[in-house]
Amino acid sequence: MLQIFDDLETLSRAAAERIASLGKEAVAARGRFDWLLAGGTTPERTYRLLAAEYRQERNLWVKTHFYWGDERCVPGDHPESNYLLAKRSLLDPLAISAENVDRIRAESSDRDSAAAEYEAILPAEPDLILLGLGEDGHTASLFPGSPALDESRRRVMVVEGTKPPKVRITITPLVLCAARNVLVLVSGGGKAQALQRALAAQGDVRLTPARLVREGIWFACPKTIAQRL
Ligand code: 6PG
């Protein structure tokens, strides 16, 4: 389901509202909200709005457990770290307890062990996976042609993508398929074709991995879809 917004601000406000709503539903139903965060740049405004305008939802935040859908293989204080983005824009402003946060230790020298350790603590059915969309149709760190797209056993693995930093740890399609809800935020020019390929009735997941979550909730800005749709 695609919803189109005038700009990133209105998209981010709608995303914050939807995330808070899904979180409260999860807490009411199961007593906790297991949320896999997205990386990249698009989600930052959504994170900041949640921290600023939903901070009073203490019963939600104390029962939210934060994970990541992917991480670049850099230290947790590196400017390219997806964890650092969320720490600065969401976790620290909301004073989230460290026991509610499980980041991917992708800086480890033993990346395969780091992936296996993360898989062991990742919830079987995340309440929400927040994702972005790359211009090439990738999502999380599942890039076109990646062997991870054919993975049938592991839920988390080391991959080499095309978007620097190239070496990453990512969830595999098994996790995407197990999520109760998926929300994809799409902003920025150059993504119109990828969005169209991701949502088209027919297509190839190997060429457009974001098709794996075609049935999810999609929020996009018009400047993204205005070009070449
Ligand atoms: C990452 C993300 C990646 C991102 C898209 C969109 O670690 O980079 O997992 O999938 O969501 O590349 O990135 P932007 O939001 O910066 O356009």
Report how far ligand 1's centroid is from the alpha carbon of 140 (Å).
7
Report how far ligand 1's centroid is from the alpha carbon of 43 (Å).
9
| pLDDT at residue 189, as a whole number | 80
Backbone angles phi, psi at 53, to 5 degrees: -105, -5
Testing ligand 1's pocket by substitution, the residue of 103, 131, 186 carrying the most ligand atoms inside 8 A of its CB is 131
Report how far ligand 1's centroid is from the alpha carbon of 29 (Å).
30
DSSP symbols for the chain: -EEE-SSHHHHHHHHHHHHHHHHHHHHHHHS-EEEEEP-SSTTHHHHHHHHHHSTT-HHHHTTEEEEESEEESS-TTSTT-HHHHHIIIIITTTT--GGGB----TT-S-HHHHHHHHHHHS-SS-SEEEEE--TTS-BTTB-TT-GGGG-SS-SEEEEE-SSSS-EEEEE-HHHHHH-S-EEEEE-STT-HHHHHHHHSSS--TTT-GGGGGTTSEEEE-HHHHHTT-
Report how far ligand 1's centroid is from the alpha carbon of 41 (Å).
7
HSE on the CB side for 41, CA within 13 Å?
6
CA-70 nearest atom, ligand 1: 9
| pLDDT at residue 229, as a whole number | 42
HSE on the CB side for 129, CA within 13 Å?
29
Instruction: Judge whether 40 and 131 are in contact, CB under 8 Å.
Output: no
| pLDDT at residue 35, as a whole number | 99
Domains of the chain, CATH where assigned: 2-226 (3.40.50.1360)
Residues with CB under 6 A from ligand 1: 38-42, 70, 82, 132-134, 138-141, 163, 188
Residues of the chain scoring pLDDT < 50? 226-229
Instruction: Judge whether 30 and 23 are in contact, CB under 8 Å.
Output: no
pTM beyond 0.95, yes or no: yes
Q: Which of 69, 75, 83 is nearest to 170 (CA)?
A: 69
Testing ligand 1's pocket by substitution, the residue of 130, 133, 218 carrying the most ligand atoms inside 8 A of its CB is 133
